[in-house]
Structure 1
Amino acid sequence: MLSYLKELAKIFPVQAQLHRMHLFGREADAEQLLQSLHKQLSHHSHDKRRIAEAMDDQYAHLFLKSAVINGWRTRMRLTLGLRRSERKGGGYERAVEELINAVQAHQRGIPTPRIIAFGYNLTVMGWVSELFIVSENLADHINGEKWLASPSHDPQEFARQATALIAQMVGADVMHLDTWAANFMVPADTSCPLQVIDFENCLIGTRGDAAAALGTQFGLLYRITLQRFISEAEFDQLVMDKCPTAPAARDTFLTSYAHAKQHSMSRKEVRQIVLSGRVIRT
């Protein structure tokens, strides 16, 4: 296992290797899973940068995400565990961030598909050329963007559940910074909770400001998606009961919430607001 990922060894203790393809899993059938992965990935052009699809045949209950790494700088960072520059947001490469964050979010009780295995392909020279993640397949779910497109569905109910899940994540020090509707998976059984996916842009732990994170995530959800389905006044009423009561935190929440509702922001700006707890108006 790559040295900077060794903390995951206790969670994924079963190892398998096929040619230059390495897999680390939870289950005893890692070798069989690796053979299936190798077969499925070989059907795709190596130039296809990202794959996100259900696995084939006996592993249809699992979901595969794969990222092909072409640039030599990115390959070097992935292989050596180097972080990106602060100008580019810091942290590891996105595929690695998603793996680490998804595992930690699940450990903190966040409803998200459980990671079953992960692995990578190496070049002849030993550089990482592809990283893949295998998780539970939410086959009986639909993403929130598609769910909201149906006139028979209640957007206010989705908004209530999504904002409650955001508040749960922030309470567990999980700050998901891509809170648009497609990252919330709605189950066919409406008595089951929403699940959240795609943790590549996420802060976990106490690095961020909770009030800024809460306000920003609510604002992003409304501006990117929900403004097409419910009024601003309705959404404001929905989130105000989740507003912090301490004066300083309340002010931070309201400022970041209003800013995120009204302004298009880059990932870097969103991250800076959550980390600093301040909105810098330009």
Structure 2
Amino acid sequence: MSFPDRSVLLNFSSTLTHRNATVFTTQGADDSTQQAIQNLIDTRYQLTDRVSAPLKGMENDLFAKSQPLDSLRPKLRVTFGRSKRDGTFDWPVEEVLNTYTAHKRGAPVAGLYGFGYRKSVFGLIQEFFIFTELLDGYLSGLEWLKQERDIRSLITASFKLLQALHSKGIVHMDFWANNVMVNLAQPGLTKAIDLENCFLTQTEHLSEVLAFQFGFYYRREIFRFVIEEDYDQMVMDALGNYEGIDRSRFDELYALSKNENISRRARREIFHKGTVTAR
């Protein structure tokens, strides 16, 4: 594999090989971890579904994600380290790069333990694996909400997390309740997950980006649990933590984001241009 950022590979210098798979980790895997990774690889042959679950059969706490690459073009791009036409990489490469960088900056995210791939007989990568810290003692936002039924606390903690990510130069464009992990012992402590749809630089269109993020957070399930006017007031209170917000630019896109589906490609347009095409 030709990885687009060689400096990342240097920090994952331990290599585990099994069948047609190669996994890079930050440190040498102990016997339990190695066996669990090998078992995962063994179960993935002939499967086309995506796995996103704790790694089974081990004492160490790791979370595993794997997904087959579904067509020739992504297989070629990932194998040879190429980007798409819009400059992004396929989701597994984006997630590795973003998670590694965010954690290195001290952002509140799960740490990256390792990543790897499984090749076909033709030498092309056909499946990608990502292993992160298992957030033991945490629940996703919606699961936590089912237990505690405290929507205001969840929204407050999520908005605090969003601001913490921005302070580290991490712009999460898939920020919704299930990508917010809540600490059961201290619900005010949260971590973000699923960073494949993130930017690692500041935007010149913060008003529009925040409008999308707050609107999207509401649209993805939260609208079911809160009165819209109450949510709007919490958003306005949270906006006071950001400088230079243009309310006219914010309000228009915020209203749109609460009510319309905005594709991932359109989210890139928001970040880069401050405009959007709703779909």
Q: What is the TM-score with the length of structure 2 in the denominator? A: 0.89
> 1:107 pairs with 104, 109, 125, which one?
104
C-alpha distance in 2 between matches for 1:102 and 1:143: 18
C-alpha distance in 2 between matches for 1:92 and 1:56: 29
Of residues 238-247 and 189-198 in structure 1, the stretch that sits farther from structure 2 once superposed is: 238-247
Distance 1:13 1:227, change over 3 A: same
Q: Where does residue 200 of structure 2 map in the other structure?
A: 204
Distance 1:5 1:20, change over 3 A: farther
Q: How many residues were matched structurally?
A: 277
Task: Kindly provide the amino acid, as one letter, of the partner of residue 100 in structure 1.
Answer: L
Q: Where does residue 67 of structure 2 map in the other structure?
A: 67
Offset of residue 252 of structure 1: 2.9
C-alpha distance in 2 between matches for 1:231 and 1:217: 18
C-alpha distance in 2 between matches for 1:117 and 1:198: 15
Q: 1:153 aligned to 2:149?
A: yes
Offset of residue 159 of structure 1: 0.4
Distance 1:94 1:281, change over 3 A: closer
Q: 1:49 aligned to 2:46?
A: no
Distance 1:3 1:261, change over 3 A: closer
Offset of residue 157 of structure 1: 0.4
Q: What is the TM-score with the length of structure 1 in the denominator? A: 0.88
Q: 1:187 aligned to 2:188?
A: no
> 2:214 pairs with 197, 211, 218, which one?
218
Offset of residue 279 of structure 1: 4.3
Offset of residue 121 of structure 1: 1.4
Offset of residue 149 of structure 1: 3.0
- Residues 243-254 of structure 1 aligned to structure 2 (within 5 Å): 243=239, 244-246=242-244, 249-254=246-251
Q: Where does residue 226 of structure 2 map in the other structure?
A: 230
SS across alignment from 1:24: strand
Q: 1:255 aligned to 2:252?
A: yes
C-alpha distance in 2 between matches for 1:145 and 1:21: 35
C-alpha distance in 2 between matches for 1:264 and 1:22: 38
C-alpha distance in 2 between matches for 1:43 and 1:202: 30
SS across alignment from 1:57: coil
Structure 2 residue runs of 5 or longer lacking an equivalent are: none
Q: 1:239 aligned to 2:265?
A: no
Q: Contact conserved, 2:139 with 2:182, CA < 8 A, in 1? A: yes
Percentage identity across aligned positions? 27
Deviations, residues 1-27 of structure 1 (Å, cap 9, x unaligned): 524242212321222323432121111
Root-mean-square deviation over aligned CA pairs: 2.3
C-alpha distance in 2 between matches for 1:142 and 1:82: 35
Q: Where does residue 29 of structure 1 map in the other structure?
A: 29
Q: 1:277 aligned to 2:252?
A: no
Offset of residue 71 of structure 1: 1.6
